[in-house]
Structure 1
Amino acid sequence: MDIYSDELHIAGTLMDNLPYEVVWLDSSGKIIFANTMFCKETGYSRKEISYLRIEDINITVTPESWKQHWEEVVQKGSLNFIATHKTKDGKFYTGEVFVQQFSFRGNRFICATFREITETSFYKNLIENTRVIGSVGGWELNLQDGSLMATACALNIFGTDDTEDLLPSRIIHQFADTERFRTLLGQVMRKGVAFDEVFELKGSPPRYIRAIAKPILKADKIYKISGVYQDVTEIKQKENDLTLYKTIIDNAQDLIYVYNDKAELLHYSESLIEKLGFSKKQLDGLTMFDLDPSLTPEFWESHFRELRERGSHRFEWLVSRKDGTKFPVDITASQLKYYGADYSCAVVRDITAKKMRDLELYEALQEIKSLKERLENENEYLQEEISSKINFKNIICDSEPYKKVLMQVDQVAPTETTVLITGESGTGKELLASAIHSNSRRKNRPLIKINCATLPKELIESELFGHKKGAFTGAVTNKMGKFALANGGTIFLDEIGELPLELQPKLLRVLQEGEFDELGGTKTIKVDVRIIAATNRDLKEMLREGLFREDLYYRLHVFPIYNLPLRDRRDDIPVLAQFFLEKYAAKAGKAFRRLSTQTIDCLMNYDFPGNIRELENLIERAVIVENGTTLRPGSWIPEKDVLVRPCGFVSFETKQRDYIIEVLDHTNWRISGPNGAAAILKMKDKTLFAKMKRLGIEKQVGLKVKT
């Protein structure tokens, strides 16, 4: 070799004494020197080697890869890697290569040291595979030159192929707790304090890395740091899961026991401490027999036998506290198998509140039963008392005109005939309907009452005939209609004149066929119902105005009963007033027993446009404002100008009533519209209807014979 010099000869002699293969290469990849060990292993003489290039020894090298390799060595100064060499006779062997760049007389060269590892490669591969399987990667930091070596697994853990990414200045930023890791690395490098801790990596999902580092000393000086990284994410996740499950168990309101067939308490929820009154130290030394002295070996053997046979055992029990008190519980015990041994996990729920509710319910049912019997006895007594005072058990009558009305009730009650009751508001049409039902063959079945005027138009069909769930917005459940409830009994349709025209055919069908369809239903329902209807309106006039069906009218008008206004049955005023006096005196705790003659005269001279309802309200007011045993006239008596006077003068309300009737006669009792009574009187339709109802104005009052 023409560049040999004295210095090179001296260096070559030193290299020949090394137990490793040493070779020098120039930037083109030409071998310019090889020591004796290199010649021996490859099988080439020194002369033959002087003609060789690196690609003759390492067949994986190409001019392009050598150029990149040279630049990397120049840039980094040194490299460490595994390579395979080819001998002169074509055999291959593997070794660990350490290359370093150096200069000689102004020229750059690479010195490569090669140590054969073929014989130990099996063991090294085995170790490396074990590290990969265990997600364990090793690294070593040289504190003298700052270089770092790392295994492939260590690089893979951090998702890099650059060893420099594992240098302290870079690796600390991989961890969520950067400052903690920086501190530990500083302590191991400066003070030689080893560490072994688990750190969370930055990013999502979370990953956990076990980091181990310890110093390597030469004499008393730290010159290297050896370490291990292990991905323990799966282990950490299981630990977190176990912590979560334990937290859930400890926060459960129920008591949770884990015990074995020897009755040893192995684990328990924190709720036991508070509920039973024991400390944790005390519980840790107790058995199930200690916790519950009432347990017997026979029961315990039977308990575990059932667990083995059925897998679970549920029963109620009384659990003892430390202070000796007990409380009822519901226990669900489930069998567990662990390392071939039998265990049980028992969930124990305090049912004290449930037992108290059951007791209260039982006591309430007993009280209801007692009250029911008492109510039945009292009802029987009251029925006998009322029957002795009023006709048909609920109607007071002392006048001849009204006895004729009651005679009609007596005639029609035993039949199945449909009844139409007409008359002014407040005359007691509902009482007549109750009397008809109470004296019919249906008296043991219900009397269902419904006021057509009080129900919204959009709900009256559902109320009468029922609906299925989802039939319309808001129909969240099935609803039984009043006709279905009245099956076998009687239904009283008050204010029948207010029934919407579109529903009248459905009512007619019930009258004619005894059947109807629910809203949203698919099945026709058959019913056996007697119908009693009532109204204070003139249905014949409504027929002429097209507001009421003619066929329905005649179906209802089979047996009409006109309920007289109070002014046409004045002889009943004293007896009714006496009845109301006794009723409200008892309620108010007053001592009234009778009405004075002057009071009766005042009442008899009053026209009572509100009928019996007005009389009842009047007496109730009198009981409130007056005192004594005899009710005498007072401020509660209507003003004198509203009393009936023989001289012909009438009250303002009477005059107002007569004028409204006169206007109604003029409009042929048409209320709405441009030519209706409301327009002439310059008031709203609803206002006129309300005033007519208050004054007791009905069509029949204004009927006049025209000539």
Structure 2
Amino acid sequence: MEIGLVKEWLLDVLPYEVFWATESGKLVYGNLKFCERVGYKSSELTKLTIFDINTTVTPESWQMHWDGLKKNKQDSFQAIHKKKTGAFYEVEVFAQFFSNNRKEMVCAIMNDISSSSFYKSLINNVESIAKVGGWKLNLQDGSLIVTKEAFSMFGIHNKEAFHPSKMLQYFKDEAGFRNGFIQTTRKGLPLDVVFETKETPSRFIRTILKPILKGDKVFEVIGVYQDVTEQTKKETKLNFFKNVIDNAEDLVFVYSRSGKLLEYSNSVANTLGYSKSKLNQATIFELDTGVTKEWWEAHFAEIIEKRSVQMEWILTKKDGTRFPVDIVANYMHYEGQDINCAVVRDITKRKERDLKLYQALEEIKFLKNRLEDENEYLKEEISGKINANNIVCKSDVYEKVLAQVKLVAPTDTTVLITGESGTGKELLASALHDNSLRKNRPLIKVNCATLPKELIESELFGHKKGAFTGAVADKVGKFTLADEGTIFLDEIGEMPIDLQAKLLRVLQEGEFDELGGTKTIKVNVRVIAATNRRLEDMIKEGSFREDLYYRLNVFPIYNIPLRGRKEDIPLLAQFFLEKYSAKAGKSFKRLSKKTINGLLAYDFPGNIRELENLIERAVILENGTTLHAGSWLPTNNNMVNNTNFLTFEAVQRQHIIKILQHTNGKVSGRGGAAEVLQMNAKTLFAKMKKLGIEKHTTFTG
């Protein structure tokens, strides 16, 4: 047999669909399984292109895909393929790039996932598709809908007798049925339990309750009754077949929902090399270290849902030897507990030729799922902390700032937000993310000023176990967590100079190296940075890289201080009044005119943060429905309430601001603030920086 025929035969016996394509998209080969699936003969297939098989692909997207594969060598994704008949089906694709004798090709290996997608769709639409044995109770008006099959199952002919409060009399465990219904209606907890009837002979009825919520209240309960008598009887006979199982060549595992190994065949001990004393105390997590508790819970839920799940896996023996297996996991309910009975067959011989590919696919799939789980968890954790309220504003000058946000938000452009402390730069960053195309991905926030210098690199880029003293486990960095999303680097001016080069590499190349890692990580992250410092001055001092500054300052947004948007002070004060009145259990509804005038007359050197703290303090001190001016209200005078004096720095700050207002913001040169104050311009700049005064601020009276 010729070498080419041998290779073609090897591809034809693979359990996957395989085709090869050129850069133009022309199909040059398809194995037997692929031809059978799409319905073309091999002679017909070579006359087609990828655009005939995947109708969503365009010449532009195919070229981008080709270039990406040529660079990265491999990729995995899901797609929809079209048969010759015009029918569509879903596939999971693993693509690799090959170059041999100057011939470049893409090899695509596919696995049909249409069935799993169908069952998922069926489950999600069970109420409209599978009405058998079903009912629906409206808790608001007490109306009840029952299917004919449900009536027939219990021999009931009227809806009143089918109400759950009356149905409990049909089951031996009345208390369990009652408690389950209460948990569903009051706490919104679903129920899926098999109850035994009181009749003779008794039957076993699977009872499923699904709460439908409006907000946090249950307003409907959807129920399904399923007669599982025969299945339950079969499960009770498991002990009779124990001897048969023990003599089977296949490996049989019986696990509890917690992962405890309850029973096993003799072949398990013989094949894996564990003693029976070890197996009697073992869990799934000890026998297979690749199984996490999260994966196991999801897998068990799928088994309960589908009753039987088939999959391929890699098992590890006690001596570390690994081998491929085919697993059929079956759900059973025995002696009051949920059980996973897994029948495992060694498929080493069938997998000898593609074992390396199989292992690579499983490793990629496992790492991908783990990273997605971590990203999803972090996204949910962060979403609960972000202030969901809109930015409070009515001033024309701040509307211009928000117009800038609206303009740049839909793009992937890097944004640098500047402004004094307390002006709400973080809210602007959230608004940029929430109005971007990345809003469904995480917004990861990092405050560079709060992180110790020795830990900031690990926090941003992650590290491997043992990379440095104290690195007892792998850590995923913030840039990895923000992949396909946005990262907000607050107080960017505090980033150590020796780390700025690594940040610049991420901005320019979209890649970085973990501490202790051996391979480069690529990410697609939008960067938003913020600072209350003058980065231009830091560049002159040598504490900030000039090239990093220009890479960050692509689209600058200056966040106006509160004294520059005084029209917003009453709105903000009312917002904080309502917020802290609710927290303190007080009844404030409005601010008095005198209070508003007092707030408008104050310069708020601490900006919005100072206003918020001021209102919170006032709510604690005062009472009533209207917040009147009191001792808590500050002024710009040298004395506050005739007892407290302004600090020397506060006096200096106010005086410099007034001079700058007089010179229209001009600092140096003829007619500048330095000349008026009879100071050296450099000395004035240093003093302004220390006092948090931005020279480019538009000062208002």
- TM-score, structure 1 normalization: 0.42
Larger radius of gyration: 1
Task: Give TM-score scaled by structure 2 length.
Answer: 0.42
